[in-house]
Amino acid sequence: MSAQAIRTAVVGATVVATLGAAALTAPTAGATDGADGASRDTGHAATQAAMDAQVADGVPGVVGQARDKHGVWNGNAGVADLTTGKPRGKNDRFRAGSINKTFTATVLLQLQAEGKIDLDTSVDTYLPGLVRGNGHDGRKITVRQLLNHTSGIFSYTADSTFQQKYATKKFLAHRYDTLSPQQAVALAMRHLPDFPAGTDWNYSNTNYMLAGLIIEKVTGKPYAAEVQRRIVQPLKLRSTTFPGTNPNVPAPSGRAYGKFQGDPQGKVYDVTRLNPSWGWAAGEIISNSADLNRFYAALLRGKLLPRAELAEMKTTVSTGAGSPLRYGLGLAQLRLSCDKAVWGHDGGIHGSASFAFASEDANHAIAFNLNSDWVGDGVAVVEAEFCGPTDTTPDKGHDKAHPKGDDQARRTDVTSPISASVSAAG
């Protein structure tokens, strides 16, 4: 499959409703040495060109880190702050959205390895009565089906009330609101299931709200505390946090920029500060490129999970006919145009699109962030890193390939990964 075909079939993580708006212009920062700049390394020229192309298409700024047999390369393009013109720094923290899901799934798999849960047990066993209503029945859905998105549970982020609060300009009045996981699940229960459990695949953020609640029920501790204890602290991920209701992104960091559906002017807003509680175990995480590379390397090399559990995590299901992406337990496999398969996840949230993918042996990896939610083609950057020189021109039509096909649906998946936007038609 060609790179262009992949970009057509796989829509970027944070596609929003405002289409065809005038692109932002920002200066491009090349691969230069410096405390916060990119490192000199001609071996990643294609990746740098792909980052530059994102900025040319309107993304304010890109920052990322690649690791391979030659060492570490840090690249950036554009700016971290449209007001000051400050470039993006290699240590910048950013909201990484649904990359959170891999962390959440890892903890559940660790709990299974410890004999504390069984992924093939019903959700109702751990959360009795919570998944009920309008055809939803937690007695007929397994924990495994939550993790690989075959549960059929409606995604609360697709609820019209949620959409009005968080996808339109009303967000500006609600950006500091708190949404509990129980409230998120209740929103989902107002709707019919997408399909009977185990019969299809559809990305649902509700699945990972429930996963976080199961962690808390089994351990008796906050889910984020378990992630910190089991993953963040052992791996020394010093730039990775789970902010809860805290609206700030710790320094060093830049700004995050977004647009809203239904805004005829297509105005760009600074959406950096927000209460990420509505993302919780599905997408609240803050991290940086180096930490994400370290996490996925440890995961894929078996440092976080026993062999059996890692194999379960990497057992994938189809996300749609003809799609280059398959989904495991909080871990996606993306097949690139050069026929290489990479493992990881991506994530979007207001003003931010993040990607982290690695080879099977984790000897080659890239993690990066775009500080926009209305434009950008992260797959092109992944393609450039793993497949070499290709057409780095972002596909401006790629955001029209969302399977739900309308503006409301596009903003729905604000915390979802590439897999949320795979065209059902391939």
| Tens-digit pLDDT profile for residues 235-257 | 999 999 999 999 999 999 999 99
Residue 361 has pLDDT above 80, yes or no: yes
Helix (H, G, I), strand (E, B) or coil at 61: strand
> What's the pLDDT band for 391 if we cut at 50, 70, 90?
low
Q: Which residue has the tokens 């609060």?
A: 165
Query: Distance (Å, rounded) from C-alpha 157 to C-alpha 211?
Result: 16
pTM: 0.87
Q: How confident is the model at residue 21 (pLDDT cuts 50, 70, 90)?
A: very low
- Compute the distance between CA of residue 187 and CA of residue 75 in angstroms, rounded to an integer: 41
Predicted confidence band of residue 36 (pLDDT cuts 50, 70, 90)? very low
Lowest mean pLDDT among 38-47, 301-310, 405-414: 405-414
Average pLDDT value for residue range 312-320: 98
- In this structure, how many other beta carbons lie within 10 angstroms of the beta carbon of residue 317? 15
Longest CA–CA separation in the chain, Å: 58
Length of the chain: 426
Catalytic residues, by residue number, are: 98
Q: Mean pLDDT in the chain?
A: 86
* Best CATH choice for the domain 3-346+374-421 from the list 3.30.70.260, 3.40.630.10, 3.40.710.10, 3.30.2320.80: 3.40.710.10
Q: Where would I find the H helices in 150-300?
A: 160-166, 171-174, 181-189, 205-219, 223-227, 233-235, 280-283, 289-300
Q: Cβ(368)–Cβ(52) under 8 Å?
A: no
Domain ranges of the chain: 3-346+374-421
